[in-house]
Chain A
Amino acid sequence: MKHVTATMAGTVINVLVNIGDSVNAGQDVIVMESMKMEVPIAAETGGKVAEVKVNVGDFVNEGDTVLVLE
């Protein structure tokens, strides 16, 4: 299991993947809004999406897990 974490505090505005999707390392998986900027969150490593931990509109803090890959 690999955790994808938020790089900064902000609000989730888009979830780009679904459970079961394969993602590559470096691929954007979540888009957040913070400081009025769109902030894409990329997966550091590749894998299959096992769990999406956030919904659009959620506030997340830096370091919070947004996605779990297997």
Chain B
Amino acid sequence: MLSNHMEETLRQRIAQVEKGGDAKYHAKLKEQNKLFVRDRLKLLFDDDFMVEDGLFANFLAGDLPADGVVTAIGRVNGQTVCVMANDSTVKAGSWGSRTVEKIIRIQETAEKMRVPLIYLVDSAGARITDQLEMFPGRRGAGRIFYNQVKLSGKIPQICILFGPSAAGGAYIPAFCDIVIMVDQNASMYLGSPRMAEMVIGEKVTLEELGGARMHCSVSGCGDVLAANEEEAILAARRYLTFFPSNYTERPPVAEPKAPNPNARDIATIVPENQNAPFNMHDFIDALVDEGSFFEIKKLFAQELITGLARLDGKPVGIIANQPRVKGGVLFVDSADKAARFINLCDAFHIPLLFLADVPGFMIGTAVERAGIIRHGAKMISAMAEATVPKISVVVRKAYGAGLYAMAGPAFEPDACLALPGAQIAVMGPEAAVNAVYSNKIQAIEDPQERQAFIMEKRREYQQDIDLYLLASDLIVDAIVAPSGLRQELINRFAVYASKRQIFTDRKHPVYPV
């Protein structure tokens, strides 16, 4: 029988390890508006339920409680999840050999249990002193990334970045499905500002080099910018409400809700003038269940909106052109953003809704040099390959390869719908008339006569691309009144829910990158 003494010793030691690092590091957390790792877990999990392994990792070292990482299983929205969480009060959350082994083991557990894995990252990177044990070997840090790649699309992998994620460690967020960053505190970089100055002579602040805002708005490495830790954790919990535990299951359904009662009437949102901007967010707001929209990459490539939402309680992934920004034209970054989001939704059986109002892909020297064609190809291939229910709605126009990229008829959407007045064409009337009649237009000397000619040709062109003509030729599957669009989508997604499709038979495609 265990003596009371032994039990008391155990209790003391558990309490000691659970306190994490030295008091001065806890004080530093407070200064930085950061929470202690175990308090983060309390916010993340539904309740006290928590199963933890490796609490005594590196116990004998004396000053490395849990070896700087908590690995545990808990519940989020009633769903079982695995977690690895760096403790920045222990040697700045750096990785030793047991740290790495613990992370690898929780990945293996998540794989076997087929449950989401959440990475709470706040780490200075590798402990150089331990490099032989934790860096190069079969179960060294490289294995963490190998496992992440293997788990991708199998189970949701979520990263919340609370602090630094440096050098090799920066790849943990890179291999996750979504990265939520805490403004001012989170950072991601391969070489620190000090290293940048030493090695390449660049003087730069951490925030400029790899700060959360930069990554969420410029590099695209971040998906959600949170004002503080509480908001970041809440965002992760909300995000997970849209996802099944693993790819063999279906996403959870919530209580259906009517759209925001204060949303504008859909018919009044879209201007008749093809060239005038409007805010696609108003359109989405009027369409989806109230308060359900969870935007991903809100600050990045804003000419395209991507986000998760619910229609009648059921999850849907929305890809929408934003005419309010850059005319809704597709760019290098927006194509990447779309490709990534489509991949995410398709992996976990979240149906796709494309809201097209797109003048096409951007043209000009800048984008050609940036490889807009190969980036556009990424979007088109991700969209083509997606086998989840997929509906394309031409809200106002879809021109050129924009039609293709937004799941046009050739890409086997389950339906291509159009609102009345929508235009589908290789290009808009102005550009088309210029292209076809350029020589003739130049030849007409009288300006009035010239303008009359142009207007006449535009009118003819409009007739050629008349929506009823397109419907008559079975190019669009249905013309839907704006007021009926939501119900039409709900009905169609309900019908398409039984869709099971294998795209094709092969090892894997040669992805455009």
Interface residues of A (CB under 8 A from B): 7-9, 33-40, 61-62
Contacts and interface: CB of A to CB of B under 8 A. Distances in A.
Contact of B277 (A8, A9, A39): A39
Contact of A37 (B331, B359, B364, B366): B359
Contacts of A35: 327, 329, 359-360, 362-363
A4 to B, nearest CB: 15
B423 to A, nearest CB: 12
A8 B362 contact: yes
28 contacts: A8-B326, A8-B327, A8-B329, A8-B362, A9-B362, A9-B364, A9-B366, A34-B327, A34-B329, A35-B327, A35-B329, A35-B359, A35-B362, A36-B274, A36-B275, A36-B359, A36-B430, A37-B275, A37-B277, A37-B327, A37-B359, A38-B275, A38-B276, A38-B327, A39-B326, A39-B327, A40-B324, A61-B366
Interface residues of B, number: 21
Contacts of B276: 38
B277 A38 contact: yes
Contacts of A37: 275, 277, 323, 327-329, 359
A36 B366 CA distance: 18
Nearest to A31: B277
B431 interface: yes
Query: Nearest 9 pairs between A and B by C-beta?
Result: A37-B327, A35-B359, A39-B327, A8-B326, A9-B364, A35-B329, A36-B428, A7-B326, A36-B430
Interface in B359-415: 359-360, 362-364, 366
Contacts of B431: 36
B170 interface: no
Contacts of A7: 325-326
Contacts of B331: 8
Given A9-B364, A38-B276, A38-B277, 18 more contacts: A7-B326, A8-B362, A9-B362, A33-B275, A34-B326, A34-B327, A34-B329, A35-B359, A36-B359, A36-B431, A37-B277, A37-B328, A37-B329, A37-B359, A38-B275, A39-B277, A61-B366, A62-B366
Nearest to A61: B366
A38 B327 CA distance: 6
A16 to B, nearest CB: 13
Interface in B274-292: 274-277
Contacts of A36: 274-275, 359, 428, 430-431
Contacts of A34: 326-327, 329
**Which has the most chain B C-beta neighbours within 10 Å: A7, A33, A35?**
A35
Interface string B325-355: 1111101000000000000000000000000
